Structure 1
Amino acid sequence: MNVARGILALVFCMCFTLSYCTNKYVLSVLKFTFPTIFQGWQTSTGALLLLVTWKLGLVEINGLSRSAAFSQLPGSFLFIGNIYAGSKALSLLPIPFFFVLQNVSEIFAFLTVIFTRREKATWRKLLSVCMLLGSATSLVVYNPRFGPSGYTWAFIHLFCVGTYKVFQNKSKTSHLSDLEEQLINYMSSASLLASLSYSTGDLFGALDFPLLTSHIFHAGCLGSAVFGFLLMLATVKLRGSLPQEHCGVWFFLAKVLASGLSFYLPTFNTVVSPIAFCSVVLSYAGEALFLYSDRFQ
């Protein structure tokens, strides 16, 4: 890996950690639990920033046809489910627990390959899948204080994440670039979440939020939107510069870094039992073996 790619990977890890930690701070510490407002703000800001960078010539986006936009709509609905359920789950679960359950989404793509391409799985891949499932199961069984709401939203989130991966692999909109897909997702999400904020009551709840005029709250919301956008750009650049298996390694390292930082920062007060800690370690070991199987199969 050359220096430029190394810097890009480090920037990705930094944006990943800052994005999740900032989101966790706003959702859990400040207790802003209005996902349609929070995610609507993030997606509308992301769409605006993406359009601005496009007009400035910093990113390349081709003209989007109406047919291409409509063909991406199923993915956009999965994206909305992903960010909405992810926001609810992250507000209730510690960051390491959130990643343990999110890792199960890797199994969706694995099962799709097994059943559609009729490929034979290696013993390493099967063992890694069992480790991922076992860690998530033990986490739910031995830490009931986060359920059922936290785990329910987490499972909805991982289902949407896994299904979206399958949709990307099977989608007929391969002529769309990653940035073009993301722009459609942003605009669709911002429009739908804006309408849902009224019907769910989030709009009125947000107006009565005690910290609505707080500078800390404003900084947290601004940081969450900006870091989320930068993470999206860094992810697209990373996937365009490195092979898929190398990108997986950096995603793995970024999650380890974010989890470790959440244990260290007193703001989050992340205290887990020995069994929960072993579940987290088992999940990361399973993910590492999963990546190893992809790289050397």
Structure 2
Amino acid sequence: MQWRRHITGLAFSFVFIVSYFTNKFVLSVLKFTYPTLFQGWQTFIGAVLLLLCGKLGWVEMSRITRSAALSWLPGSFLFVGNIYAGSRALSRIDIPYFFTLQNSSHVVGYIIIKLLYRENTQWLKFSGICLILLSAICLPLCDPQFDYSSYLWAVCHLLSVGSYRVFQVHNKSSNLSDFEQQCINYLFSVFLLALAAHPTGDFMGALEFPSLQSHTFYCGCCASALLGFFLLLATVKLKRGLSLVHLEVWVFMSKVTAMFLSPFIFHMDFNTRSLSCVVISHVGEALLVYSDRDSHL
């Protein structure tokens, strides 16, 4: 029934917003800037919960063959780049600016598809891509709290997100479900981030972290891990219950809501020019969603 679809979408939107706010709180307010440990913890809990749910039959997961796992490893590399660079960027960039830069992953995906698959593009979609690219280029010049290293991590993040999105759609070498793909991502991430924790100095730095004895810190870390897993469940359920275009609509609405609420929760420095970049970027994203809707009619 239609009302059930709306409930699923609202649940997805709620988890999406709270998940980003929780991650932002731990990374920025509590200043836990050790992404190998933070993301390693999230992916470890996600892997445990996903394998447990698969074992109990709560989610549909088949046995993953070695060949299927190996064929998905490039996607897992991109997933690790996505979450690691995303944590680095989100720790110092306000949520509206972060989403504005993240939108540029659509530009990355567009370029890859154009170069590799020669797909035709509607003028409406091309207009949206141009607006997103323009706002991302102008934002560093307008952001009153511009930080070079944070924007560099944001670029790594959007490159990973855009490449992963294309790989997920066009990789036909393995018939893996969404849960199976994410299970490989989780397990590979735990392994890779655990190896990187000591060389990057995150492990030793975390031992001296001032808030290590704080209940707020542990609650925030636990909540972030659980919310990440719930977001996966909500995303897959929404994708299976509705079309991909409807999922894009709910993601867009969730991001807009999160940007509207974030100044009431986190401190932000903004000006008219930076807000204009945010608005232009999401007008461009709205055009992309609308053009995808037309192409599926």
Shorter-chain TM band? over 0.9
What is aligned with 2:177?
Answer: 177
- What is the TM-score of this pair, normalised by structure 2? 0.96
Whether the aligned pair in 2 keeps the contact of 1:108 and 1:166 (CA below 8 Å) is no
CA distance in 2, matches of 1:118, 1:35: 37
- Give the deviation of 1:144 after TM superposition: 6.2
Matched residue of 2:27: which SS? helix
**Deviations, residues 157-194 of structure 1 (Å, cap 9, x unaligned):** 00000111121122134410010000000000001111
CA distance in 2, matches of 1:241, 1:208: 46
- What is the TM-score of this pair, normalised by structure 1? 0.96
- Give the deviation of 1:238 after TM superposition: 1.1
What is aligned with 1:93?
Answer: 93
Whether the aligned pair in 2 keeps the contact of 1:103 and 1:287 (CA below 8 Å) is yes
What is aligned with 2:270?
Answer: 272
What is aligned with 1:41?
Answer: 41
Matched residue of 1:31: which SS? coil
**Worse overlay, 81-90 or 101-110:** 101-110
AA partner of residue 78 (structure 2) = L
AA partner of residue 250 (structure 1) = W
Matched residue of 2:33: which SS? coil
Matched residue of 2:145: which SS? helix
What is aligned with 2:10?
Answer: 10
**Worse overlay, 182-191 or 120-129:** 120-129
- Give the deviation of 1:53 after TM superposition: 1.2
CA distance in 1, matches of 2:173, 2:179: 13
Matches within 5 A, 1:248-263: 248-263=248-263
**1:75 lines up with 2:75 in the alignment:** yes
CA distance in 1, matches of 2:148, 2:140: 9
**Deviations, residues 38-73 of structure 1 (Å, cap 9, x unaligned):** 000000000011111112211010001111111111
Identity between Structure 1 and Structure 2 (%): 51
- Give the deviation of 1:287 after TM superposition: 0.4
**Worse overlay, 142-151 or 160-169:** 142-151
Whether the aligned pair in 1 keeps the contact of 2:37 and 2:197 (CA below 8 Å) is yes
Matched residue of 2:198: which SS? helix
Structure 1's unaligned 5+ residue stretches are none
**1:295 lines up with 2:293 in the alignment:** yes
Matched residue of 1:199: which SS? coil
What is aligned with 1:112?
Answer: 112
Whether the aligned pair in 1 keeps the contact of 2:112 and 2:163 (CA below 8 Å) is no
CA distance in 2, matches of 1:184, 1:117: 26
**Deviations, residues 5-39 of structure 1 (Å, cap 9, x unaligned):** 11111010001001100000000000000000000
CA distance in 2, matches of 1:247, 1:144: 33
CA-based RMSD: 1.3
CA distance in 1, matches of 2:46, 2:69: 17
Whether the aligned pair in 1 keeps the contact of 2:37 and 2:193 (CA below 8 Å) is yes
Residues 1:196 and 1:293: Cα distance change in structure 2 (over 3 Å): same
Give 4+ residue runs of structure 1 displaced > 6 Å after superposition. Answer: none
